[in-house]
Structure 1
Amino acid sequence: MDFELSQETKALKDLVRKLIEKHQMPLERKLLQGEAITAEDLAPGRKAAKDAGLWGLSLPKEYGGADLSTVDNVAVAEENARCLVPLAFGGRVPAFVRRLNDRQKEKYFHPLLRDEKSYAFAQTEPSGGSDPGGQIRTNAVRKGDRWVLNGSKIFISNVARADFFIVVAVTDLEKRQHGGITLFLVDRDAPGVRIGRAIPMIGARTTHELFFEDVELDDDAVVGRQGTGFASAQGLLSGARLNIGARALGVAERCVEMMIEHAKARVAFGELLASKQAVQASIVDSWVDVHQTRLVTYHAAWKQDRGLDTRVEAGLVKFLGSEMVGRVVDRALQLHGAAGAAFDSPLAHWYTDVRTMRIFEGPTDVQRYQVVARSLLK
């Protein structure tokens, strides 16, 4: 791979950075002052993204999307993560949802594109989330011409806004991940669906429990073919892992910039911090961390654009990026001292925000030992 980004991708990064600086950074300052961010606050940025042709980044142009490559998507996510109040680019639809039949598209896909509906992806269960193939207990049993869904989910994001859920369920206990897991479209208000307790998380996130008790579904609730759900879900997670790497880059890069700016302005014991070897080492180590992670992340995106299997690379990006950004934010906060630990600094917010990157979309331990190491040693 030529690790020099194309002129088109560089221009895209520049455009997104300008949009973020104009529309989102003022909102970050508002957030850091303790004020709430409203839908009205977000509207100008969303309009600007649409006007710039950046709506539905991965969607084909036939659906009104920008049809960006994976490399370009990583570039956008990297720039977007530099701000505590990211820009919404709309039309975020998993690739497998595009394969719905015509009736399903009319009910779910097209409203998603028009930003009229929202969904939540429901996979993690109380029995565990790191081994979905072996641990999922939610099941769907065929009874006549209907499916009957029973089970529970936990730590599910976006439930508060979701109009429907994409539910991962076992349809063949013996096959499980080898053809026995299916995805189902389940309406929020379907009989037997119950939203459980809200679970506040670090990083200002709130997840929820979901319960399904004898939820009756017809064949139009099945996503794709029966038994193909595990592969579809894993494909979704690979994209999410690349996104985590891109977001980690954006946060870490801004942290390095803040470290440099602070070190060149702050005087301690009669000298600028920038003159002290320990500070220099901290900044250089952080810059190297960012640079190495960027190479791995963009290489994985480059491979995906060429239709190559990137499951191992996505796992590598996930654990390298999520651990890297934790180190860099920690160094940046340490350098800024009490000012960095105050919630009127983005560093204090990132300190908790980035910690969840090591857990969501597959813990780093699983990526390291179950994905990367297994691939190397098989």
Structure 2
Amino acid sequence: MQYKLPDETLMLQDTVKRFVDKELIPLETQLPERPNSYELPQELHLDLTGKIHEMGLTARETPEDAGGAGLGPLDNCIITEQVHRSTAGCGVFSATFASMLYELGTEEQKNKYMVPSVKGEFHGSSAFSEPVAGGDMAGIQTTIEEKDGGWVINGNKCWIFKANTARFILVLTRLKGTKRHDGMQWVIVDADTPGFKVGREQKMIHGQNTYELFFDNCWVNKDQLLGKPGEAWSSGTDYLFSGRIQIAARAMGIADRCLEMAIDYAKIRHTFGKPLSSRQAIQWMIADSAIELHTCRLMVYDAALRAQEGEKVFIQTAMAKIYATEMVAKIVDRAMQIHGAAGLSDETILERCYRDIRPMRIYEGTSEAMRSMIAKDLLR
């Protein structure tokens, strides 16, 4: 890969970093306690999303002719990394699903859902996880069948972010009677569609709760199908690959901030008449963290650049997600150890980071599932 980032990417990185340092980090003390502790007060949220729109960073991967930023996977990865240096970042830089709508949607669907999403008028959500199917996307059981001039959906989903406020849901279903990879279908379900219900809130360890979704003879017209009937497997896996790079980038952002905090604290905290930074045990913790973060960046940027150049990145994204999510756990843990009791309290962001990073080894495919897929590919 090209190990030196392009000048335009470095400029973008610097712009977002300055925005995070100036606008987001000072707001971390205003984040609420759980649940949904990513959510800033509404007035602040609207102000920040407006600034993000002015920067041209809404719908980052959606082409410019559709109102997006037109950025590739590498630039998008760089932005995500910088944004997640702050615990306030997740709540204001959220997915619009505009890219999927751009690639698969009809002109009517784009005008109805994509354009307003890009403008920030409302947001959507996506739903493919089920009680019986998480990382095994081909195992979904929610069905869709043609009936009465439209389509009827039956089944349920779980662990769905922002479903309670979404104007629409992109739901992954399968044509009734099909199995595994065959017959998978995306469908757009409006929040007020009869037969569709947002169920209980699922309280999570980190800062954003999820929701159950239920579809009971939920009828939608034929114009709500997204993409060609039965061909959602390819777009669904592309969505997962992109999501794995994004999770890895989030992990790097959190790791970078925690390493920075560990270094700063080690310099000012004294024990037995000397700064912590003079202790070999602390020095080695910081050195190990720096080595692992640098290694991770090379791996994640490589996967993002390969994706940008059109390569198949099934293995690279799995490797990047495994390494990044396990790397950040070690770096956050070391930072907490260096801070001592202060690292366990809400006087720093470390305890929040500790909770935020744990789900990363589960979402978008568990570390164990990723390792099995890598091994299967190598041993075939």
Scaled to the shorter chain, the TM-score interval is: over 0.9
Task: Return the offset for 1:144.
Answer: 4.8
Q: Point out the more displaced range, 43-52 or 331-340.
A: 43-52
Decide whether the 8 Å contact of 1:50 with 1:89 is kept in 2.
no
Task: Return the offset for 1:18.
Answer: 0.9
Decide whether the 8 Å contact of 2:185 with 2:231 is kept in 1.
yes
The count of aligned residue pairs is 375
Closer/same/farther in 2, CA of residues 79 and 352 from structure 1, 3 Å limit? same
Q: Point out the more displaced range, 330-339 or 80-89.
A: 80-89
Distance in 2 between residues matched to 1:217 and 1:32, nearest whole Å: 38
1:136 alignment partner, one of 126, 137, 140: 140
Within 5 Å, give how 1:71-220 maps onto structure 2: 71-86=74-89, 88-89=92-93, 92-98=96-102, 99-133=104-138, 135-177=139-181, 179-220=182-223
The TM-score, its normalising length taken from structure 2, stands at 0.94
Write the letter of the residue equivalent to 1:339: A
SS at the partner of 2:172? strand
Write the letter of the residue equivalent to 2:97: V
**1:189-221 CA deviation, whole Å, 9 max, x = no partner?**
111111111111011221111110111122211
**1:22-57 CA deviation, whole Å, 9 max, x = no partner?**
111111133389997312123333333233332321
Closer/same/farther in 2, CA of residues 32 and 141 from structure 1, 3 Å limit? closer
2:225 alignment partner, one of 214, 218, 222: 222
**1:282-326 CA deviation, whole Å, 9 max, x = no partner?**
111111110111000000111011111112111111111111111
Distance in 1 between residues matched to 2:94 and 2:320, nearest whole Å: 24
RMSD: 1.9
**1:223-248 CA deviation, whole Å, 9 max, x = no partner?**
11011112211111111110111111
SS at the partner of 1:201? coil
Decide whether the 8 Å contact of 1:57 with 1:89 is kept in 2.
no
Write the letter of the residue equivalent to 1:155: W
**1:247-266 CA deviation, whole Å, 9 max, x = no partner?**
11111011111111111111
Decide whether the 8 Å contact of 1:164 with 1:185 is kept in 2.
yes
Decide whether the 8 Å contact of 2:98 with 2:114 is kept in 1.
no
SS at the partner of 1:292? helix
1:28 equivalent to 2:28? Answer yes
| Structure 1 gap ranges (5+) | none
Task: Return the offset for 1:68.
Answer: 1.3
Distance in 1 between residues matched to 2:183 and 2:238, nearest whole Å: 16
The TM-score, its normalising length taken from structure 1, stands at 0.94
Closer/same/farther in 2, CA of residues 266 and 90 from structure 1, 3 Å limit? closer
Distance in 2 between residues matched to 1:339 and 1:196, nearest whole Å: 38
Distance in 2 between residues matched to 1:155 and 1:251, nearest whole Å: 23
